[in-house]
C-alpha cells in the first residue's frame, strides 16, 4: 500500500502527473523540469535547463491559455483546496502562459530565507537580498534608479517594523518573510547557501531590433527546443551570514545577525525599530573609528567580519534630520493607533485577527499543549446561530484592547515661533516644538544641531534662552523621559506592545485599502498630519532630494532596466512595482486635490468641465467630453468610459512588455461623482501642438491618419500576443496608410527620444452585440438573445480574455477539422473531401458549440487523439515551410485555416482588426475581402460570447467550480471568462431559465444585488455632481435613506442658510468642479430613486427588476439591506459610521448626516506582476500535484522569496503562496509551520483585500482547521464564528460555502461535546447541501453521516439510524454495493442497531424491575479528537488515499488515455469541452458531491 496524503480537489491531477509522462510534440514544454529527486539529495545543487521561454516577458498574459497545460490547470485550485474559489483572488486563471516552467531551481538554506543575487553590485544596483531593497549605490546606471531605490527605504521610517526577531522592511518596497532571524542564528554560519541562477533571456530580447520572430502561432506553439542554450549563464555564489556586535550609548551591547548582501542602511532601519534603540534616527555606524557609508554593502566594508564591533555614534542634526526625528517620534507614539487605517492614510489598513487569537498563535500553542479540556465557552453570540435574522454591523470591527491609547503626551506640535529668526539660526536653533505633557505641564522645546532642550518661551512670549535645567538630550524621547514620569512609563509599555505585534499588522500595503465603516473617533492634535495638510506634501515628497519627482522618467527608466537573467529581472520588476505603487498613491492624492478645488487649472478661463490640471508632474483631466471629441461615440458617456478602456490598453501593452515601446503611467480615480484620469507627462508634449506631435495614428478618429515605420515595427511585435491584425485604412486624401493598432492609438516621440503610445481605448475589437450597424446581420444566436442592442456609447469592446478564449476555441476546431480530413484521406484515398471547402465559419459554429459527449467510445477517443497529434505535427511542418509536407496535407491545413477564419493559409493564426465598424474609418478597395472576413470573425466572436462563455459560466456555477460570494467575486468570475459587466442581465436571464435554477440561487441573489447596486451607483454619480461641498454628508445620507431605508418620506437637510453666501454667482468659472449650486438632490424621493434604478437596470443591463421600493426588492429577491449597504459603499467610496442601523423603521430614517464619515476615491491602476516568482509558484504546484510534496514545498518557498523580493512583504499573490505553503505543511504533518504560514495569510488577506473580503473568510476557515489540529480548540471555534459572521454580513446564510463552514463548526462543537449546539449547525449544513447539490449527492451522504454521529453521542439512536440509512442509500445508489464507502456505512448501521437494541433492553429491564434492576453500564462514545480531526480533513478536502498495485495500474491506463486526449485538444475552458479534459474523480466524498450522478466508477478507493 502506498499511502499518499493529498487534497481531494487535487488528487486526480496528482495521479495524472505522477503516472504519466507525455510524449510527442510539445512534451518538452509540459514535462515538469524537476525530477523526483529523493530528499536526501537536496544539498547538491542541480542545474536545470529547459526550453527557452519565448514569452517570459509576458507577466500578465492572456488568460486563454490557462487551462491548456497541467501546470496552469492546477492554478484553478491554487491552494490545493477543495474550495474552488481561487485564492489568487479573482483573476487567478488569467495569469499563465504556455511557456516552460522556470528553469532555475534555487538551492539555498530554507531557514535563511534569502536570495543572494550576484552581479548586482557590479552593476551599481541594490543587491536583492530580501531586505536589501532600501537603497542602491548610485552607479553607472544613472541617478534616477538610485533614487527609486533609495526612496524605498525612507518611506515611513516610523513603521520600520523590524526588530531582531522579525527583520522587516520599513515599507512596502520590500521583500521578506518575516522570520528568518530567530531561526537563523545557529544555522547561518555553518551552512553556506548556494544558489544557482539561470538567466533565461526572453525571446523578444534576444532578437535584436530588426529581426522578426519566427511564426509562433498565437502563442499556441510550444517553446522551441533549439533555444535551449541561448542566453543562460549559471552563477554560483557562497553567502554566509555572520553576526556583529552593536554598541549603542546607554544600553548593553547586543549582537545582530547580518548578511554580506545587506546595506549598511538596513542596520540603521533595524536599530530604528528595536525597542531599546527606536528613539534614535540621527546617527552613524563606526567600525574601528571609520564611518560606514549608508549605501555600501556590508561585504564591501573592509575589516567587517564575524564578531566585529559597530559603534553607534550620534551625529549633529540638520533641519531635515530634525523633522525626520519628530516624524519618527510621532509614528512611535501612534504605532498602535488605528486612526490612519480608518482614514485610509499612508497605506495603513485594518486587521482584526489578533482579537480572535489573543495575540500570536505560535505562543498560545506552547501554552495549551495538553489536550486537557479547559472549560471552553463555546456558545456563539445569538446572531451567529443558524436561522438568526439579525445582521448586526458593530461586530465587523471589534474593539481591539491595544487601541485604548496609552496617553504619553497630550500635545506635541510645531510651535508658532517657527522658523527661528536669523540670530537664533546662528546659535544652532533648527526649529521649535510645543508640548503639553500628560501631567498638564506646558513646555517649549528647541531642536538644535546638538539635540533637544527646553527653552523659556511661552505661548505668547518668545524667549529662546535655555531653561534651567535645560535637559539637553540627543533624542526627543530622552528629553521627554526626563520631564514627564507618565511619558517615561507609558512610552516603555507602548514600545513593548508595538514590538509584540505581528509585523504583518504594521507594514504598509503597496496600494491603499479603504474601510467602508469606522467607529466614532476623537480628533486629536497631530503636528505631522497638520504639516502634511498645509505643505500639500510637495517639495517634501517622501524625503527625496530635489523638489518633485519626474514620474514619467522614473516609470520609463525602470522599464529600461536590463532583464537578461534572474537577478536583473527581479531588480527590474521590483523597481517597476515600487514606482507604480508610489505613482498610484501620488495620483490618487492629486485627483482628490483637483476635485476638492486645491489645484489651479492650466486653462482657468475655460468652463469647469473643460479644465485640466498639472500637479506633482502628473497631468489630470476630467471625464467629460471636451470640445465634442467623442460626439460620434456617445458624448460624455463615452468620455466617462474611455479612461478605463485606455487603462486596460495600458495594462495589456505593459504586460506584453516590448522593448522600445512606452506607455504612460495611468491611474483612473472616481471621487465625489467625478472621474479623473491621471497620467504621467510625455517630455515636451506641453510645448507643442498636438497635430505636430502625433506621428502615428489619428487625432480625429480616422479622418487624418499618419503612420511611421518604427511604430509599425514596434507594434508588429505586439500583434501576435494581442491578436491585432496589421491593416490598411484610407485617410482624408484617399491615401492608404498602414496601421498595427486602432486609428485612435497615437504615437508620439517625446523630447527624450522614446516612442510613446497613448489613447489605447480601442485596443480590442468592438463588441457587435452592443453596436448595431445598419445593414449588418448578427448570427442567429445573437438575434435569439435580442442582440444587437443599442448601448449608451459606441466604445464597447470585447475583453482580452474573450479574444483569447475565442482563439483557443477556434484552434481546437481547427485541429478537429484537420484531423477529420486526414482520417477521411486515410480511409478513402480516392475521395477528396470537398465538404469543408464551402463550409464557411458560420456553418461551423453549430459544430463547435456542441462538443462530442462523453459517451463516445474510448477507441474513438484514442484514435482521434492520435489524429490530432498528427495534425499538430503536420501544422508545425507546414509552418516551418521546409517543403517536406506533401501537397494533400497542405490542402488539409489550408481548408482548415479557411474554415476557422485564419489570416494565414499555411498555419493557424487568428487576428482581429480593431477598426472594423469604427465610425469614420474607411478601408481601401483592395482590402474588401479581408474586411468581409474580419466582419464575420467579429460576429462569430459576439456569438461565441453568448453561446459558449455565458452558458459555460452558468454551468461552472451549477457544478460549484466557481463560488462567487459577493458582487466583486461575481464580477471577477465573469471577467475571467471575458464576459463584460453589461451582460449581467443576460447571465441572470440564463440563470432563471436554467434547469438547475434552485442550485443557482446564490448566484441569482448576488447577481440581482450587483445589478441593483451598479444601477444605483450610476445614478449616484450624477446625483453627487450637483452637490456642493458643504452639503455632501447631507446629500449622501439622503441618498442612502432613499435607497435603503423603509422610512417613506425622508427629508434632506440643506446646509444652514447663514452659511450660504449671497454673492456667490459672480465668479462661476473658477469654482472647483464640485461647487454646483443646485439643490435638486434634496427633492429626490425613495419612489423616484427606485423607479430610476429599475429604469437604469432595464436600459443598461437589459433586465427587468420587479420592485418599486427597497422592501419589495428585499422581499422578492431575498436580499439583505446590510449587504446592499456594503456593496454600494465599496463601489462609491462611502464610509459610514459603525453602528446598528434601523433600516426597517417606518418612523425615522436610517441615516443621519452624522452617519456619513467620509467619501474615499475608488482607484483603478495597473498591477505589475512578478513573472519569475509566478513561474516558480506554478512549477511548485505542478510538483505537488505529482506527489513530490517536499520538492513542491521548496519551490513554493522560493516563489515566496521572489514575491517578497518584488512586491515587498504585503501582496495578494504572496497571500496565495502562504496559503498553499500552510496547506502543504499541514499535509506533511508540520502543524506549527502550517499555523504560522496560515496566520500570515489571514493577516495579509485582511490587510490587502479587506477584513470581510470573501478571500479573508476562506483564510479564516483554513486557519481554524490548523488551530484545531494543534489542539487550540477555543481559538478554532472563535475563528470559525468570525468566518460565519462575515459570511452572513457579506451574503447571508443560503450559500453553498455555508454548508462547509457549518460542518466545520458542527464537528468542532461535537469534539468539545456541545451536542445540541453541534446539531444546529450540522443540520443547517445538511439542508444547505441538499439544496445546492441535490438530495442524492455524496456531499449530502457525508452530511447525514456527521449528523448521525452526533445523535449517536446523544444516545438518540432512532434519529441516528434514520440519518445513516439516508446516507447508506445514497452511497449504494451512487457508488454501488461493493464500494468502500457503502461498506463502511453498512458497518456503522449495524453498530448503531446493536447499540439501539442494547439501550431498548435496558429500558425494558427498568420498566419490569423498577429501580432494583441490574443495569450494565451503557457505552456512550464521546468522540476522540483524532476522529473529529479525521472528519474535518475529509470535509475540507484532505484525504488519505490507499492505492493498491492493481489500482495503480488501472489509474495509469485511465490517466494515460485522458492525457492523450487532453494533450491533443489543449482545451482551456471547461465550458466548451466539459468531459474531454476533466478526469473523473474517484470517490472523494467532497469532490464527488459536486459531480453529476454519472461519475460512478472510482478506480482507486478513497477512504476518509
d(CA 1037, CA 1030): 13
- For residue 756 the three cell numbers come to 510613446
With a pLDDT cut of 90, the percent of the chain lying above it is 53
d(CA 535, CA 528): 11
Res 506: pLDDT: 86
d(CA 115, CA 131): 10
Q: Which residues of 1128-1165 are buried (b: 16+ CB within 10 A; e: fewer)?
A: bbbbbbbbbbbeebebeeeeebbbebebbbbbbbbbbb
Mean pLDDT of 151-169: 38
pLDDT for residue 223 is more than 70: no
Tens of pLDDT, residues 1464-1503: 554 444 334 333 333 333 333 333 333 333 333 333 333 3
Res 1445: pLDDT: 62
Residue 65 to residues 16, 37, 1350, 1469, Cα–Cα distance (Å): 20, 29, 47, 9
Tens of pLDDT, residues 1224-1281: 999 988 999 999 999 999 999 999 999 999 999 999 999 999 999 999 999 999 999 9
Res 690: pLDDT: 63
Question: Concatenated DSSP letters for 613-655?
Answer: EEETTEEEEESS-GGGTTGGGTHHHHHHHHHHHHHHHHHHHHH
pLDDT for residue 534 is more than 80: no
d(CA 728, CA 915): 10
Residue 1135 backbone phi and psi in degrees, to 5: -120, 125
Mean pLDDT of 549-574: 94
With a pLDDT cut of 70, the percent of the chain lying above it is 71
List beta partners, residue 1263: none
Q: How confident is the model at residue 843 (pLDDT cuts 50, 70, 90)?
A: very low
Classify strands 409-414 and 429-437 as parallel, antiparallel or unpaired: antiparallel
Q: 514, 344 in Cβ contact below 8 A?
A: yes
Mean pLDDT of 469-483: 93
Mean pLDDT of 237-241: 58
Res 1106: pLDDT: 93
- For residue 522 the three cell numbers come to 476623537
Q: Among 183-187, 256-260, 812-816, name the one with the lowest average pLDDT.
A: 183-187
List beta partners, residue 724: 912
d(CA 1123, CA 1142): 14
- For residue 694 the three cell numbers come to 502625433
- What is the spatial order of strands in the sheet that 661-663 belongs to? 661-663, 755-758, 746-749, 694-696
Rounded to 10 degrees, what is the CA torsion of 159, 164, 168, 170?
Answer: 40
Q: Which residue has the higher pLDDT, 304 or 127?
A: 304
d(CA 611, CA 634): 20
Res 20: pLDDT: 40
pLDDT for residue 1002 is more than 70: yes
List beta partners, residue 612: 621
pLDDT for residue 1371 is more than 60: yes
Q: How confident is the model at residue 618 (pLDDT cuts 50, 70, 90)?
A: very high
Res 1458: pLDDT: 63
Q: How many C-alpha atoms does 5 have within 13 Å on its Cβ side?
A: 13
pLDDT for residue 1414 is more than 80: no
Which runs of consecutive H residues, i.e. helices, occur in 659-799?
A: 690-693, 709-722, 780-784
Res 1437: pLDDT: 86
List beta partners, residue 434: 413, 444
- For residue 716 the three cell numbers come to 508588429
pLDDT for residue 34 is more than 60: no
Q: How confident is the model at residue 1460 (pLDDT cuts 50, 70, 90)?
A: low
| Residues contacting 683, CB < 8 A, separation 6+ | 552, 553, 750, 751, 752
Res 881: pLDDT: 57
- For residue 1029 the three cell numbers come to 461641498
Look over the chain and give the mean of its residue pLDDT values, rounded to a whole number: 78
Q: 587, 614 in Cβ contact below 8 A?
A: no
Res 923: pLDDT: 92
Question: Concatenated DSSP letters for 319-358?
Answer: HHHHHHHHHHHHHHHTTT-THHHHHT-TT-----HHHHHT
List beta partners, residue 6: 1439
Res 295: pLDDT: 85
Q: How confident is the model at residue 374 (pLDDT cuts 50, 70, 90)?
A: low
- What is the spatial order of strands in the sheet that 242-247 belongs to? 254-258, 242-247, 309-314, 283-287, 290-291
Res 141: pLDDT: 36
Q: How many C-alpha atoms does 903 have within 13 Å on its Cβ side?
A: 23
Chain-centre distance for alpha carbon 1171: 15
Q: Which residue has the higher pLDDT, 389 or 210?
A: 389
pLDDT for residue 928 is more than 50: yes
Mean pLDDT of 915-922: 89
Q: 459, 481 in Cβ contact below 8 A?
A: no
Q: How confident is the model at residue 448 (pLDDT cuts 50, 70, 90)?
A: very high
- For residue 1020 the three cell numbers come to 449616484
Res 1447: pLDDT: 62
> Nearest to residue 278, comparing CAs of 163, 425, 420?
163
Res 691: pLDDT: 65
Tens of pLDDT, residues 1140-1191: 999 999 999 999 999 999 999 999 999 999 999 999 999 999 999 888 888 9
d(CA 436, CA 412): 7
Local structure of 694: helix, strand or coil: strand
Q: How confident is the model at residue 726 (pLDDT cuts 50, 70, 90)?
A: very high
Tens of pLDDT, residues 36-62: 333 333 333 333 333 333 333 333 333
Q: Report which DSSP code applies to 706.
A: B
d(CA 650, CA 631): 24
End-to-end Cα, the chain, rounded Å: 16
Residue 1099 backbone phi and psi in degrees, to 5: -70, -45
Q: How confident is the model at residue 1072 (pLDDT cuts 50, 70, 90)?
A: low
Classify strands 746-749 and 755-758 as parallel, antiparallel or unpaired: antiparallel
Q: 1489, 958 in Cβ contact below 8 A?
A: no
pLDDT for residue 10 is more than 50: no
Most confident by average pLDDT, 93-97, 147-151, 1398-1402:
1398-1402
pLDDT for residue 840 is more than 70: no
Local structure of 668: helix, strand or coil: strand
Residue 873 to residues 20, 25, 889, 1463, 1464, Cα–Cα distance (Å): 21, 7, 11, 13, 11
Classify strands 1438-1443 and 661-663 as parallel, antiparallel or unpaired: unpaired
d(CA 1115, CA 1424): 45
Tens of pLDDT, residues 1294-1307: 999 999 999 999 99
> Nearest to residue 1375, comparing CAs of 120, 1350, 800, 1367?
1367
Q: 12, 1482 in Cβ contact below 8 A?
A: yes
Q: What is the largest CA-CA distance in the chain?
A: 115
pLDDT for residue 853 is more than 60: no
Q: Which residues of 195-220 are buried (b: 16+ CB within 10 A; e: fewer)?
A: bbbbbbbbbbbbeeeeeeeeebbbbb
CA angle (435 as vertex; 429, 437 as ends), nearest 5 = 140
Residue 757 to residues 17, 679, 705, 741, Cα–Cα distance (Å): 44, 13, 15, 10
Q: Report which DSSP code applies to 1052.
A: -
Q: How confident is the model at residue 402 (pLDDT cuts 50, 70, 90)?
A: low
Q: How confident is the model at residue 74 (pLDDT cuts 50, 70, 90)?
A: very low
d(CA 251, CA 915): 72
Mean pLDDT of 163-176: 38
pLDDT for residue 412 is more than 70: yes
Residue 514 to residues 85, 343, 975, 1102, 1250, Cα–Cα distance (Å): 23, 8, 23, 32, 8
Q: How confident is the model at residue 1293 (pLDDT cuts 50, 70, 90)?
A: very high
pLDDT for residue 82 is more than 90: no
Res 1223: pLDDT: 94
Tens of pLDDT, residues 1073-1129: 545 456 778 899 999 999 999 999 999 999 999 999 999 999 999 999 999 999 999
Amino acid at each position: 500500500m502506498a499511502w499518499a496524503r493529498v487534497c481531494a480537489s487535487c488528487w486526480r491531477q496528482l495521479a495524472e502527473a505522477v503516472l504519466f509522462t507525455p510524449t510527442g510534440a510539445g512534451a518538452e514544454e509540459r514535462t515538469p523540469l524537476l525530477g523526483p529527486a529523493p530528499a536526501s539529495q537536496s544539498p547538491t545543487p542541480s542545474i536545470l535547463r529547459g526550453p527557452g521561454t519565448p514569452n517570459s516577458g509576458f507577466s500578465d498574459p492572456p488568460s486563454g491559455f490557462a487551462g491548456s497545460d497541467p501546470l496552469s490547470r492546477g492554478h484553478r485550485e491554487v491552494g490545493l483546496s477543495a474550495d474552488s474559489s481561487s485564492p489568487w483572488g479573482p483573476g487567478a486563471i488569467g495569469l499563465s502562459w504556455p511557456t516552460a516552467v522556470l528553469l532555475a531551481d534555487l538551492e539555498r538554506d530554507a531557514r535563511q530565507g534569502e536570495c543572494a543575487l550576484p552581479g548586482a553590485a557590479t552593476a551599481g544596483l541594490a543587491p536583492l537580498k530580501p531586505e536589501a531593497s532600501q537603497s542602491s549605490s548610485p552607479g553607472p546606471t544613472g541617478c534616477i534608479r538610485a533614487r527609486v531605490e533609495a526612496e524605498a527605504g525612507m518611506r515611513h521610517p516610523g513603521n520600520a517594523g523590524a526588530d531582531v526577531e522579525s527583520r522587516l522592511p520599513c515599507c512596502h518596497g520590500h521583500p521578506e518573510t518575516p522570520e528568518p532571524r530567530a531561526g537563523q542564528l545557529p544555522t547561518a554560519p555553518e551552512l553556506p547557501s548556494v544558489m544557482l541562477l539561470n538567466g533565461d533571456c526572453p525571446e523578444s530580447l534576444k532578437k535584436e531590433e530588426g529581426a522578426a520572430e519566427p511564426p509562433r502561432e498565437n502563442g499556441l506553439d510550444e517553446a522551441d527546443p533549439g533555444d535551449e542554450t541561448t542566453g543562460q549563464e549559471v552563477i554560483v555564489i557562497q553567502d554566509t551570514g555572520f553576526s556583529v556586535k552593536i554598541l549603542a550609548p546607554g544600553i548593553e551591547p547586543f549582537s545582530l545577525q547580518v548578511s554580506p548582501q545587506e546595506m549598511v542602511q538596513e542596520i540603521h532601519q533595524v536599530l530604528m525599530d528595536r525597542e531599546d534603540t527606536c528613539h534614535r534616527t540621527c546617527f552613524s555606524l563606526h567600525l574601528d573609528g571609520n564611518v560606514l557609508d549608508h549605501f555600501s554593502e556590508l561585504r564591501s566594508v573592509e575589516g567587517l567580519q564575524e564578531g566585529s564591533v559597530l559603534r553607534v555614534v550620534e551625529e549633529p542634526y540638520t533641519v531635515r534630520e530634525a523633522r525626520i526625528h519628530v516624524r519618527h517620534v510621532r509614528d512611535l507614539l501612534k504605532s498602535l493607533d488605528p486612526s490612519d487605517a480608518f482614514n485610509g492614510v499612508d497605506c495603513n489598513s485594518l486587521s482584526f485577527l489578533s482579537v480572535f487569537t489573543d495575540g500570536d498563535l505560535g505562543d498560545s500553542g506552547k501554552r495549551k499543549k495538553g489536550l486537557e479540556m479547559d472549560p471552553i465557552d463555546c456558545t456563539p453570540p445569538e446572531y451567529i446561530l443558524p436561522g438568526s435574522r439579525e445582521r448586526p454591523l458593530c461586530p465587523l470591527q471589534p474593539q481591539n484592547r491595544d487601541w485604548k491609547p496609552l496617553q504619553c503626551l497630550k500635545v506635541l506640535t510645531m510651535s508658532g515661533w517657527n522658523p527661528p529668526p536669523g540670530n537664533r539660526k546662528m546659535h544652532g536653533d533648527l526649529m521649535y516644538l510645543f508640548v503639553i505633557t500628560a501631567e498638564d505641564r506646558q513646555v517649549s522645546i528647541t531642536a538644535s544641531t546638538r539635540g533637544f532642550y527646553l527653552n523659556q518661551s511661552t505661548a505668547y512670549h518668545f524667549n529662546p534662552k535655555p531653561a534651567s535645567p535645560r535637559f539637553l538630550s540627543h533624542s526627543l524621547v530622552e528629553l521627554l523621559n526626563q520631564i514627564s514620569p507618565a511619558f517615561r512609563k507609558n512610552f516603555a509599555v507602548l514600545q513593548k506592545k508595538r514590538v509584540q505585534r505581528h509585523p504583518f499588522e504594521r507594514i504598509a500595503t503597496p496600494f491603499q485599502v479603504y474601510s467602508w465603516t469606522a467607529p466614532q473617533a476623537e480628533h486629536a492634535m497631530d503636528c505631522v498630519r497638520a504639516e502634511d495638510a498645509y505643505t500639500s506634501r510637495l517639495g517634501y515628497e517622501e524625503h527625496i532630494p530635489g523638489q518633485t519627482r519626474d514620474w514619467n522618467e522614473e516609470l520609463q527608466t525602470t522599464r529600461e532596466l536590463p532583464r537578461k537573467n534572474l537577478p536583473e529581472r527581479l531588480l527590474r520588476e521590483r523597481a517597476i512595482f515600487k514606482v507604480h505603487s508610489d505613482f498610484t498613491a501620488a495620483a490618487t492624492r492629486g485627483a482628490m486635490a483637483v476635485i476638492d478645488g486645491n489645484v489651479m487649472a492650466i486653462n482657468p478661463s475655460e468652463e469647469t468641465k473643460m479644465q485640466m490640471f498639472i500637479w506633482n508632474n502628473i497631468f489630470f483631466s476630467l471625464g467629460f467630453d471636451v470640445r465634442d471629441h467623442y460626439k460620434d461615440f456617445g458624448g460624455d458617456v463615452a468620455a466617462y468610459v474611455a479612461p478605463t478602456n485606455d487603462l486596460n490598453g495600458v495594462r495589456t501593452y505593459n504586460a506584453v512588455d516590448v522593448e522600445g515601446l512606452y506607455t504612460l503611467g495611468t491611474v483612473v480615480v472616481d471621487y465625489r461623482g467625478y472621474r479623473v484620469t491621471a497620467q504621467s507627462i510625455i517630455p515636451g508634449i506641453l510645448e507643442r501642438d498636438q497635430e505636430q506631435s502625433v506621428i502615428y495614428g489619428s487625432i480625429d478618429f480616422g479622418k487624418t491618419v499618419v503612420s511611421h515605420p518604427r511604430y509599425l515595427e514596434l507594434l508588429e511585435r505586439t500583434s501576435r500576443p494581442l491578436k491585432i491584425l496589421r491593416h490598411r485604412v484610407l485617410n482624408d486624401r484617399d491615401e492608404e496608410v498602414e496601421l498595427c493598432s486602432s486609428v485612435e492609438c497615437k504615437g508620439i516621440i517625446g523630447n527624450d527620444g522614446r516612442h510613446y503610445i497613448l489613447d489605447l481605448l480601442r485596443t480590442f475589437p468592438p463588441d457587435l452585440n452592443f453596436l448595431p450597424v445598419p445593414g449588418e446581420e448578427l448570427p442567429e444566436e445573437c438575434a435569439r438573445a435580442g442582440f444587437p442592442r443599442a448601448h449608451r456609447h459606441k466604445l464597447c469592446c470585447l475583453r482580452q480574455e474573450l479574444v483569447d478564449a475565442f482563439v483557443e476555441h477556434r484552434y481546437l476546431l481547427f485541429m478537429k477539422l484537420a484531423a477529420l480530413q486526414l482520417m477521411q484521406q486515410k480511409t478513402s484515398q480516392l475521395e477528396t473531401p470537398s465538404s469543408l471547402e464551402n463550409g464557411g465559419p458560420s456553418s461551423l459554429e453549430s459544430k463547435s458549440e456542441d462538443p462530442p459527449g462523453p459517451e463516445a467510445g474510448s477507441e474513438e477517443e484514442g484514435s482521434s487523439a492520435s489524429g490530432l497529434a498528427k495534425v499538430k505535427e503536420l501544422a508545425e511542418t507546414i509552418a516551418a515551410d521546409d517543403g517536406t509536407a506533401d501537397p494533400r496535407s497542405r490542402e488539409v491545413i489550408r481548408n482548415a485555416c479557411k474554415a476557422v477564419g485564419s489570416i494565414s493559409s499555411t498555419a493557424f493564426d487568428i487576428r482581429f482588426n480593431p477598426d472594423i465598424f469604427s465610425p469614420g474609418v474607411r478601408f481601401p478597395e483592395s482590402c474588401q475581402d479581408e474586411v468581409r472576413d474580419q466582419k464575420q470573425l467579429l460576429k462569430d466572436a459576439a456569438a461565441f460570447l453568448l453561446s459558449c462563455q455565458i452558458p459555460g459560466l452558468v454551468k461552472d456555477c451549477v457544478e460549484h467550480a466557481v463560488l462567487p460570494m459577493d458582487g466583486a467575486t461575481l464580477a471577477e468570475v465573469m471577467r475571467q471568462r471575458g464576459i463584460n459587466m453589461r451582460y449581467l442581465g443576460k447571465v441572470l436571464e440564463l440563470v432563471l431559465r436554467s434547469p438547475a435554477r434552485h442550485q443557482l440561487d446564490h448566484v441569482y441573489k448576488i447577481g440581482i444585488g450587483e445589478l441593483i447596486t451598479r444601477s444605483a451607483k450610476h445614478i449616484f454619480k450624477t446625483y453627487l455632481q450637483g452637490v456642493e461641498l458643504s452639503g455632501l454628508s447631507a446629500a449622501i445620507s439622503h441618498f442612502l435613506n432613499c435607497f435603503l431605508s423603509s422610512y417613506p418620506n425622508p427629508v434632506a437637510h440643506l446646509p444652514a442658510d447663514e452659511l450660504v453666501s449671497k454673492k456667490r454667482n459672480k465668479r462661476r468659472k473658477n469654482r472647483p468642479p464640485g461647487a454646483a449650486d443646485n439643490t435638486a438632490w434634496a427633492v429626490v424621493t425613495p419612489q423616484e430613486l427606485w423607479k430610476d434604478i429599475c429604469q437604469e437596470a432595464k436600459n443598461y443591463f437589459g433586465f427587468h427588476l420587479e420592485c418599486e421600493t427597497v422592501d419589495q426588492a428585499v422581499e422578492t429577491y431575498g436580499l439583505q439591506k446590510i449587504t446592499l449597504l456594503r456593496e454600494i459603499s465599496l463601489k462609491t467610496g462611502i464610509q459610514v459610521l459603525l453602528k446598528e442601523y434601523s433600516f426597517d423603521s417606518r418612523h425615522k430614517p436610517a441615516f443621519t448626516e452624522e452617519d456619513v464619515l467620509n467619501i474615499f476615491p475608488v482607484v483603478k491602476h495597473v498591477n505589475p506582476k512578478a513573472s519569475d516568482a509566478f513561474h516558480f509558484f506554478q512549477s511548485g504546484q505542478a510538483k505537488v500535484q505529482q506527489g513530490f510534496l517536499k520538492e513542491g514545498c521548496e519551490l513554493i518557498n522560493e516563489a515566496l522569496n521572489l514575491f517578497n523580493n518584488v512586491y515587498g512583504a504585503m501582496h495578494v499573490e504572496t497571500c496565495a503562496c502562504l496559503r498553499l505553503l500552510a496547506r502543504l505543511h499541514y499535509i506533511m504533518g508540520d502543524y506549527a509551520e502550517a499555523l504560522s504560514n496560515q496566520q500570515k495569510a489571514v493577516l495579509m488577506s485582511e490587510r490587502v483585500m479587506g477584513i470581510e473580503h470573501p478571500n479573508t473568510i476562506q483564510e479564516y476557515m483554513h486557519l481554524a482547521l490548523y488551530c484545531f489540529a494543534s489542539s487550540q480548540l477555543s481559538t478554532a471555534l472563535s475563528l470559525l464564528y468570525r468566518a460565519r459572521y462575515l459570511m452572513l454580513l457579506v451574503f447571508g446564510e443560503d450559500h453553498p460555502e455555508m454548508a462547509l463552514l457549518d460542518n466545520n463548526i458542527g464537528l468542532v462543537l461535537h469534539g468539545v461535546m456541545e451536542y445540541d449546539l453541534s446539531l444546529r449547525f450540522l443540520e443547517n449544513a445538511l439542508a444547505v447541501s441538499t439544496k445546492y447539490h441535490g438530495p442524492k449527492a455524496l456531499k449530502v451522504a457525508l452530511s447525514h453521516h456527521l449528523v448521525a454521529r452526533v445523535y449517536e453521542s446523544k444516545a438518540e439512536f432512532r434519529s441516528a439510524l434514520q440519518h445513516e440509512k439516508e446516507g447508506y442509500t445514497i452511497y449504494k445508489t451512487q457508488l454501488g454495493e461493493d464500494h468502500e464507502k457503502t461498506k463502511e456505512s453498512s458497518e456503522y448501521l449495524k453498530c448503531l442497531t446493536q447499540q439501539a437494541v442494547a439501550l431498548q433492553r435496558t429500558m425494558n429491564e427498568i420498566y419490569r424491575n423498577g429501580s432494583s434492576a441490574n443495569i450494565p453500564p451503557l457505552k456512550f462514545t464521546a468522540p476522540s479528537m483524532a476522529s473529529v480531526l479525521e472528519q474535518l480533513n475529509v470535509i475540507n478536502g484532505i484525504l488519505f488515499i490507499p492505492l493498491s498495485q492493481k489500482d495503480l495500474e488501472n489509474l495509469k491506463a485511465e490517466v494515460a488515455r485522458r492525457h492523450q486526449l487532453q494533450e491533443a485538444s489543449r482545451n482551456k475552458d471547461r465550458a466548451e469541452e466539459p468531459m474531454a479534459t476533466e478526469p473523473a474523480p474517484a470517490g472523494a466524498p467532497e469532490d464527488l458531491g459536486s459531480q453529476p450522478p454519472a461519475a460512478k466508477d472510482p478506480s482507486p478507493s478513497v477512504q476518509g
